[in-house]
Amino acid sequence: MAREWDAVAYEGLSSPQTRWGAEFLGRLELAGDEDAIDAGCGTGKVTGLLLERLPRGTVLAVDGSRAMVEAAAERFAGETRVRVEHQDLVELEVEEPVDLVFSTATFHWIGDHQRLFDRLALVLKPGGRLAAQCGGEGNISRATRATREVMGRERFRSFFVGWDDDKNYAGAGETKARLEAAGFGGVEAWLHEELTGFGSAGELAGFLEIVVLGGHMQRLPEGERGPFAGAVAAEIVAAAGEPLLDYVRLNMTATRSEDA
């Protein structure tokens, strides 16, 4: 199951993810009556935008973090077209297959993409579509380098023994092959860059602590979390000359084959 998230902090800090989600959604052609799943809905900000695009449709919002599910359930309380469920996407189960699986900023948290895509094919109607964006090959490489350097420092080293970062930044070619193996046709997969600047090293450190380094934070005692995120932010600024994250997004669209 996915790790827990600080939903309140993510709600306040996730404007880059919301912006990318809105842009990705804006490029999708939708009839407006689809039954959809938002796979990894978080607190539901992008789910709400998806719902606006589906005036005659429904959304099943799924997330593996209980805190995220609670926040999304609160956001959509009284909205009969949205159901929020706590589920692991690699074991996703639905009562009825849907027309669309939509997902943003989530799949790179899942180690086994083949298992994920096999599962998503099962919850789609034949002819149903998958449209997803997540971190892709080369994503935040400066931050990854900086994080490894700080993890190796005397002060922090003992907290990470036997543990490695858990992100899965896949490439476009391997993603296309995995989707086809899962029974998807008409597959398109591509990468694009989203260089994202922050107002200060402190702002970057706050964002790293909640969004990028959440897994690392769970290894650290509370008193070491801020210093660790601060050290990674300082390292990024030293290397790049400014507080930024070199995001790379992996986009994918595909249709479940009729005979999958």
Ligand X SMILES: C[S@@+](CC[C@H](N)C(=O)[O-])C[C@H]1O[C@@H](n2cnc3c(N)ncnc32)[C@H](O)[C@@H]1O
| Continuous H helices in 123-221 | 141-151, 172-181, 201-207, 214-219
Q: Is residue 109 within the footprint of ligand X (CB under 6 A)? A: yes
Give the number of residues written for the chain: 260
Stretch that binds ligand X, among 12-20, 173-181, 236-244, 252-260 (CB under 6 A): 12-20
CB 122 within 8 A of CB 183: no
Nearest alpha-carbon partner for 98 in 129, 62, 76, 73: 129
List the x/- string, 152-191, binding to ligand X by CB under 6 A: ----------------------------------------
Q: Is residue 106 within the footprint of ligand X (CB under 6 A)? A: yes
Q: Quick one: 69 or 179, whose CB is closer to ligand X?
A: 69
Q: Is residue 14 within the footprint of ligand X (CB under 6 A)? A: yes
Residue type, 177: A
Q: Is residue 88 within the footprint of ligand X (CB under 6 A)? A: yes
Strand, helix or coil for residue 82 = strand
DSSP per-residue codes, 21-70: HHHHHHT----S--EEEEET-TTSHHHHHHHHH-TT-EEEEEES-HHHHH
Q: Quick one: 58 or 133, whose CB is closer to ligand X?
A: 133
Least CB distance to ligand X at residue 219 (A): 18
Count of residues in contact with ligand X, rule CB under 6 A: 23
Single residue of 48, 57, 64, 128 touching ligand X by CB under 6 A = 64
Q: Is residue 57 within the footprint of ligand X (CB under 6 A)? A: no
The Cα–Cα gap between 54 and 152 comes to 48
C-alpha pair distances (Å), 16 with each of 117, 145, 156: 25, 21, 29
Q: Is residue 72 within the footprint of ligand X (CB under 6 A)? A: no
Q: Is residue 63 within the footprint of ligand X (CB under 6 A)? A: yes
The residues binding ligand X (CB under 6 A) are 2, 5, 14, 17-18, 21, 40-42, 45-46, 63-65, 68, 88-90, 104-106, 109-110
